[in-house]
Amino acid sequence: MKNKKTIIIIIAFFVFIFFSLVINYNPGLEIGENFLDFAISMLRVLPAAFLLIGLFEVWVDRETIEKHFGDDSGLKGYFWSILLASTTVGGTYVAFPVAYSLYKKGAKYSTIFTYVGAAALVRIPMTLFEASFLGIKFTIIRLGTSLPLIIITSIFLEKLLKYKEISFRKENK
């Protein structure tokens, strides 16, 4: 039933775009243009990103992830999360699949949350662009404020999940 609703919504969207084109309905034309721009930008980034994520899945073993991102990683887990996030290309299109891969390989929740939060804030190209336009002082203040807050929030979220006894990991039986 849910799949039928989804298919109907998708068909309705494309019918709306088509009739907007036929009758020259400007809001519909803009929606269609934005959709096309978004789809093209995703198609440029995602194939390469998913290829790299696939290689990450194959080449990086579970023990390495558990050592650097797992329960016993301590503060270095957050360091590695931020470092990995700073090199992530493609924003959240890529960050969430990488986060899922980290999760499957045994990373603790707080390092995964830190990675996702940092991927939105500390990508190297974005940071360099920001520093060139807003100044290095602003960038340092923003990073110095944002990163500790991301880590604190990540730790809090992990503790909240444990307190509420919420686990997303499948128990081996």
State yes or no: pLDDT of 172 exceeds 50.
no
The pLDDT of residue 169 is 67
**Nearest CA-CA partner of 57 in 120, 22, 101:** 101
Query: What digits encode the pLDDT tens for the residues 13-61?
Result: 999 999 999 999 999 999 999 999 999 988 888 888 888 888 888 898 9
The whole-chain average pLDDT of the chain stands at: 89
Confidence of residue 11 (pLDDT cuts 50, 70, 90): very high
Return the residue matching tokens 């190209």: 125
Angle between helical axes of 62-69 and 75-86 (0-180°, round to 10): 110
Residue 81: C-alpha distances to residues 77, 86, 115, 171 (Å): 6, 9, 5, 25
Q: Which pLDDT tens digit goes with each residue over 117-138?
A: 999 899 888 899 999 999 999 9
- Sequence-distant (≥ 6) Cβ neighbours of residue 78 within 8 angstroms: 110, 111, 114, 151, 154
Q: What share of the chain has pLDDT > 90, as a percent?
A: 62
Is 115 a residue whose pLDDT tops 60? Answer: yes
